[in-house]
Structure 1
Amino acid sequence: MRSRSPPHTRFPEQQVDTRPLPENWIVRSSNNVEPGRIYYFNRLTGESRWDPPDPEEESRFDPDEERRRSYAENQARIQLLQDARRMRIQRAEAAYQARIQGAEAARQARNQREEALHASILRAEAARQAILEDEEEDREKLDNVTNGYRILNNRDYAEHQERIQFLQEARRARIHRAETERRARIHRTETEREARNQREEARRARMHRLYLDLQDLFL
């Protein structure tokens, strides 16, 4: 490999070569390594050396061929880098599309779960309304029983009061069970909604990181 600057080495006493120099070569005097020591410099290639250039070697050196070879190497290197960049972009685009499809499938599944949950809430509300209607009917029956037995003697009245108490307790138990089930459904609904929101936030964060990664690749 040709040296681009005089080597930092001390040499024995230098003998000046009086032969004509090849084309583009000139003699210079060193100011740094050994002040006053001469070296040879090629104005075309920028090469510098202590020893005189060989005319035969220089005659075989073709600057145009050297430039063409260097240009071809640079073009091959540029093409290789461009191909690698295209491959990275294609892989990133494929990964991005796969994530988009996965996100769309997750969104559809989430919508289906929401629809099923909404239907469950509607069924629970319908059951609650039916229970309320049954309670109203039971209340009317209790009132009828109470009014009917007011005319009975004390013994019969006490027995029927126990029956009324039993009916009232059964009614309160049904109301309690219905209210407990309703609250449980509402709690499950809120829990699923919070979990769904957390998954949505996580998905948005992943999409945002993917968007930033793609920006880094394209910039």
Structure 2
Amino acid sequence: MSNHALLNNVDHKDLKIIRKRNAKMGDQVMFCMTFPVEFRSVQHDYPIFFRKDSQTGEFMPIAMFGFEQKENLFLKDDKWDAGYIPLVMDRDPFLIGFQQDRETGEKKPVIHIDMDSPRVSNDEGEPVFLEHGGQTAYLEKISSMLQAIHAGQDHSKAFVQKLLQYELLEPFTLEIELNDGSQNQLVGFYTIHEEKVNALSAEALADLHKDGFLQSIYMVLASMSSIRDLIERKNQTLVNK
């Protein structure tokens, strides 16, 4: 269950956020949504794939953390063992809400918080507000993240539409043999067809480049090298058993 509340410095003046990274805090997930705006940072640590929503049929880019449900191979000693944490994971337990402006009637994005999150505390963690009500540097960082997510959602949809327009997405099966000899498969995800990218016309490349989508494509392709690290992390779990 979630209990979303509009963040404010009166009701939440003593609010603190526990920033440990572990299963208890909800970090034990196989993947999360990611956005082209962060692909350059994401691709260094995680493979970027695409997932098709079974209900809407829409595709979304995701950063992969493990090979099975509820597996995050980057969690270690209450920390996230990577140089970058994707926005959707790092902003937790904050999220974007909308509030109607009384003068203009327009809906504007505002910060909400899930008060039922295990990260929420009045006793330990990172303060959200200063003693006299001002925003902490942490909250300012969260605000920037949420703005990036808000802007990134439409940009991501446009990116996916271009991939579909040029038929660049394809389903794939990743065959994995671990050090203990076990054979594993990763199925149900999509990737960018590199050969089709290389065969694009100059006109198509220019079309993709003008909105920054061509760079995003290359970041996705570059992220495939992170699969080796993910497999090695999986092998390490076998050693530690």
Higher relative contact order (CA 8 A, sep 6+): 2
* Structure (1 or 2) with the greater helix fraction: 1
TM-score of the two chains, using structure 2 as the length reference: 0.19
* Structure (1 or 2) with the greater strand fraction: 2
Greater C-alpha Rg: 1
TM-score of the two chains, using structure 1 as the length reference: 0.21
